[in-house]
Structure 1
Amino acid sequence: MLLDIDNLFKSFPGVGNTPPVEVLKGLELKVEEGETTAIIGQSGSGKSTLLSLLAGLDLPTSGTLKLKERHLNSMSEEELTQFRAENIGIVFQQFHLMNHLNALENVSLPLEMNQQQDASELAEKALEQVGLSPRKDHFPHQLSGGECQRVAIARAIVIRPALLLADEPSGNLDHDTGEQVADLLFDLVGRTGMTMILVTHNSELAQRCSKQLTLSQGRLQ
């Protein structure tokens, strides 16, 4: 079992005298290596909260979250940062590229943070996988939205993550470009056997995953 979430709760403090707001309520999720899982939910259902927990960017109020048999919620901040850098790749809706770095440098960044010796070479291979080798010296403002998302995908896969998280990966693109990016993402995942969790409100995109779950009332169904 690659990912094992058991009885997960996440609440946030209320405002003033109001009680805490429970967003996730006893959530359960098990993901095998190589699986693709779509999590669908309406705005405000807790998708972003769950994604932050999966990415190790936030900690649950209670319950267990295990990735590769490691308890994320019992790690120190330093351990969690290192574990995340080595095992979790994230594709955001808004790209989150560094504007002062070119495409190759953006993709190299996670490797350099891990002090990888051949960072540039591996980054160039990742750009080649997403069809952007000729644009490696271009900066984000010189790239289209679709190209920026390809760079973001290359950055997420360059570490060969145990878990790839995709947050509305085509949500910030026009329909045709979004379809092309989705095709690329699923092709890469299929060819490499990566484990992916896709968070989306797009039911058509969700159907491309091997498993579809709906987040509602703080639980997955």
Structure 2
Amino acid sequence: MQNPYGGGPPPGPAKGQHGTEVMAQYPVAPPPAGAPPPPVAAPPPEIGTQPLPPPSSYAQPAAAPYMQPQQPPVANGQWGPQGQPMQRLVGGVALEPGEKVLYYYRANRIGYVIFGLIIGIIMIPAFGLGLYLLYLTITDRSHSTYVQTITNKRLMAINGHGKPLWQIRWDEVRGLNKVTGRRYEFGVRNANGQKFMFDDNVHIVEMVITKLAGEPMLREQSPEVAFDPYVN
């Protein structure tokens, strides 16, 4: 194809023998005299010959925080400062090693306390009687039974401050005692004839004591019942 404007062939890439485009070859000017030779790229290192960085340059993994091994839960108790279980309590009284609670009853004294306060205030004009009723009501937690419990080792009546009002071990029991009539009580006595009586939930107390009194093996084989460690 001729250039319509005359002269040589039209601008654009040249065509080869089969119509393919051929890029024009431009001459490269030689470097000026005195110029340093161009840098030559170093050959790539062979596999396995490249030196490793020093160990200190590697990132060190973060140390995992120390986790104290978990301990199994302690029934009705707490863990001590050294991870050891603290002594178990029933109604605020410490249980002996191997001791388990077979009977537990917590008395509700709220109604009695409210009644005592009301009557005591009303009877204040009677001086001695009113003040005495108020004194008994205020000190009720100290002298009244708030928890009755029977374990495989002993029987206890515990006050509202977690202190035993009385306790007797099974090997000290020499007989059973029952009081009927207007006030129903049941308990045991020792070799000296001293009585240890429960005065609340008595029908259950009688059944439990009668069943366990003459069968030491039954005390050890019976399962433990639920109980409160403290008295509020």
Bin of the TM-score, shorter chain as denominator length: under 0.3
How does the TM-score come out when normalised to structure 2? 0.24
Higher strand share: 1
Q: Which has the higher contact order (CA 8 A, sep 6+)?
A: 1
Higher helix share: 1
Higher radius of gyration, 1 or 2: 2
How does the TM-score come out when normalised to structure 1? 0.25
